[in-house]
Amino acid sequence: KEMDSIRIYNRTNWFRWSREHEKGSNGGSQIDFLRVFANMDVKESVFWLLDFSGYQRSGEWEKKNASVYVEKMEKRRSTEEKKKKFVLPAPARNNDCLYSYLTGDRALDRHTVDYF
């Protein structure tokens, strides 16, 4: 998935500058990040973060929810496997299209583009 202007601060929160004025998908905590980018609900996000951090859950939770959690994760994995693999286009002979895009569409000065 293409990412626009997202910034992660100190592994504690994130902000998506291109959606600065939208509610719900423009920033927040790690849980919000998983909700937006991994399509998890709050409970799944919390458990995923606990698993990722290495915390052990009580046996009671495992008995009640493990099968549901595993099913959701397997479904998510199978969906990810169906996605197309990323393939780079053939290399261009020169950078004319790039220069045109950066100086025309993005309105960058030619000297700035040449510098980088």
Residue 37 covered by a domain? yes
- Per-residue model confidence (pLDDT) at position 25: 64
Count of domains observed in the chain: 1
Q: Which residue has the higher pLDDT, 57 or 113?
A: 113
Is 35 part of a structural domain of the chain? yes
**pLDDT beyond 70 at 108:** yes
Residues above pLDDT 90, as percent of the chain: 9
> What pLDDT, in 10s, does the model give residues 12-43?
777 776 665 566 566 778 888 888 778 888 88
The pLDDT assigned to 78 comes to 74
Q: Which residue has the higher pLDDT, 33 or 101?
A: 101
Could you tell me the strand order of the sheet in which 27-28 lies?
A: 6-9, 13-16, 27-28
Is residue 101 situated within a structural domain?
Answer: no
Average pLDDT of the chain to the nearest whole number = 77
Q: Is residue 1 part of a domain?
A: no
Mean pLDDT on 82-90: 81
Q: Given a cut of 60, is residue 97 above it in pLDDT?
A: yes
Q: Is the pTM of this model over 0.85?
A: no
50 contacts 57 by C-beta, under 8 angstroms: yes
Asked whether residue 15 is domain-assigned, the answer is yes
Domain, as residue range, for 70: 6-82
Is 49 a member of any domain? Answer: yes
Q: Is residue 27 part of a domain?
A: yes
Q: Minimal CA–CA distance to 25: which of 47, 10, 4?
A: 4
SS3 assignment, position 88: coil
Does residue 50 form part of some domain?
yes
